[in-house]
Chain A
């Protein structure tokens, strides 16, 4: 035990001496959350739109003012021809245009049926989609209001409810993603690098000649990064709840427990990588390209897994972050418990045992 403590102490010395790295490790989650939360948001606010009101009646004016009043749109310009509209699109001045055909009110009153056209700049398909959806819902609102006034006998109104995230906040999506990314970076990359560094400098050889058990050397390497990750988990959760208003709907203990489990998986992966590579550069490269990339691409964080071709879906099963991402979303956002995420949890436990076992086994082979 004393031996073990002196190992852990030494690892902490390494971390604390290297102030730059330590600051990066601790500040990274904060910076990422802030960047994702405020800069890289895919919510659409105050989008500039143009209107081509060919009818200019009471109904069209009322619909347009309702559009302008919503926080998603800002009418910047009336246009009077297709060419003019197109020019505005090309200049990038507007994201969407609303075209109201002539006799809008007349048709609405006499035929109970009128048309509105939305033209969106789909060079960014996601934004275009979001904008037309928002606009449609504003029109829906308007429609239900006038139907109410006029007491029309038959009308089917649709009501959409966005479960768990009524405001469609991007933060609900990326908080779990950032958590997976940060834990993976800190644990996997840093442990892989520190173990390989010891081999490069020759200190590992000295330890292998000493009576220290390889198992203990491995565990001692992981302990400081485990604690560092606990700090990161806390800072990510605090920022999410108090700055980004993402609630923890499920059990906090479960969420923290699962995060620590994912930390263990990442540590095991890092140690496993360290037994396979010879230089710090390779360790860094493998951690970044071999792990961070799949974590971002294949965990469901950026792109929905259901939309991927089957081979990629199959590959995504091997990405630990996929399961963790799912767990965090379920527990944190949907408020579910272990009865829902037990399968994902078991898979993570399995991955931990698998990579941890391999790491320790490989470590021993180097001795004989």
Chain B
């Protein structure tokens, strides 16, 4: 049996009268790349915030990395990484200082940090830029660095909230190579995106409409079910039903 890293069961979040996330149920296996799609306002970010311990669910159950989101969110936090749609490194710190700082938050030992920093720098071809301020790097490199920082502490699961916004196609491709490498090491990747070509790279994809998950399958199966040529078509067919506006 494969380890389930996320198990969500009728997970719901209400803000007053508004049901942002409406009883979603799904599970994600270890090492899987799970695409979490939906139009703006469909409830993706809220769902992700619940799973990452930033926000308390209104009802339903969820286990993340084997821990209960209600009671054990401190343990969850130790086992996940997070990269937000906003670029989240410190521009006025150097590459090395950023890595050090984030690794320090997770309480990693100096020896671990030192060794792994060199490894990451090499992997990103940033060794010669290590002591430059992050603000001098091009956006694509920053984003790749942000991803490496998010998984630096070797979490079981990493949440990526629209990680490739505003990046050119070549860099996006490189970014996805990093995601594959991470998945191959056993890190589960939970990713939201607006780019449908990226949805094709995922092992499985869920599509949220108005707070519910309306479809969940492999990209190939989804295309078959919806008789579509591409994920783009699948998405449009589903998103058209949405009642909520932008």
Contacts and interface: CB of A to CB of B under 8 A. Distances in A.
Indicate whether A and B interact.
yes
Nearest to A207: B105
Interface stretch (A13-21, A138-146, A168-176, A329-337): A13-21
A6 interface: yes
Given A209-B54, A211-B106, A10 B93 contact: yes
Interface of A: 2-3, 5-7, 9-10, 13-14, 17-18, 201-203, 205-212, 367-368
26 contacts: A2-B107, A3-B107, A6-B100, A6-B104, A9-B104, A10-B90, A10-B97, A14-B90, A201-B86, A201-B87, A203-B89, A203-B90, A205-B54, A205-B82, A206-B82, A206-B83, A206-B88, A209-B54, A209-B77, A210-B77, A211-B74, A211-B106, A211-B107, A212-B105, A368-B55, A368-B56
Nearest to A366: B54
A299 to B, nearest CB: 35
Contacts of A208: 54
Given A6-B104, A209-B53, A211-B74, A201 B88 contact: yes
Interface of B: 52-56, 74, 77-78, 80, 82-93, 97, 100-102, 104-107, 133, 150, 159
Given A13-B97, A208-B54, A3 B105 contact: yes
A17 B197 CA distance: 40
Given A206-B88, A210-B102, 10 more contacts: A2-B104, A10-B93, A14-B92, A201-B91, A202-B86, A205-B84, A206-B82, A207-B105, A209-B159, A210-B82
Nearest to A212: B105
Nearest to B78: A211
A205 B88 CA distance: 8
Nearest to B149: A206
A13 B94 CA distance: 10
B49 to A, nearest CB: 9
B4 to A, nearest CB: 21
B16 to A, nearest CB: 16
A44 to B, nearest CB: 49
A212 B84 CA distance: 17
A17 B86 contact: no
Nearest to A17: B92
Contacts of B93: 10, 13-14, 17
Contacts of A201: 86-88, 90-91
Contacts of B53: 209
A229 B159 CA distance: 40
Contacts of A14: 90, 92-93
B106 A210 contact: yes
A3 B101 CA distance: 9
A20 to B, nearest CB: 12
Contacts of B82: 205-206, 209-210
A202 B97 CA distance: 17
A193 to B, nearest CB: 14
Nearest to B92: A17
Nearest to A213: B74
Contacts of B97: 10, 13
Given A10-B97, A368-B55, A203 B104 contact: no
Nearest to A216: B105
Most buried by B among A18, A206, A208: A206
Contact of B92 (A3, A18, A211): A18
Contacts of A203: 88-90
B52 A209 contact: yes
A10 B105 CA distance: 11
Contacts of A212: 105
Contacts of A2: 104, 107
A5 B103 CA distance: 12
Nearest to A217: B105
Nearest to B146: A206
A211 B87 CA distance: 20
Contact of A202 (B84, B106, B159): B84
A205 B150 CA distance: 12
A13 B78 CA distance: 25
The 4 closest A-B pairs by CB, nearest first: A6-B104, A202-B86, A209-B82, A17-B92
Contacts of B56: 368
Contacts of B100: 6
Nearest to A208: B54
Nearest to B80: A209
A5 B101 CA distance: 10
Nearest to A18: B92
Contacts of B86: 201-202, 205
A176 B78 CA distance: 48
A90 B80 CA distance: 78
Contacts of B78: 211
A2 B111 CA distance: 13
Contacts of A202: 84-88
A264 B86 CA distance: 32
B92 to A, nearest CB: 4
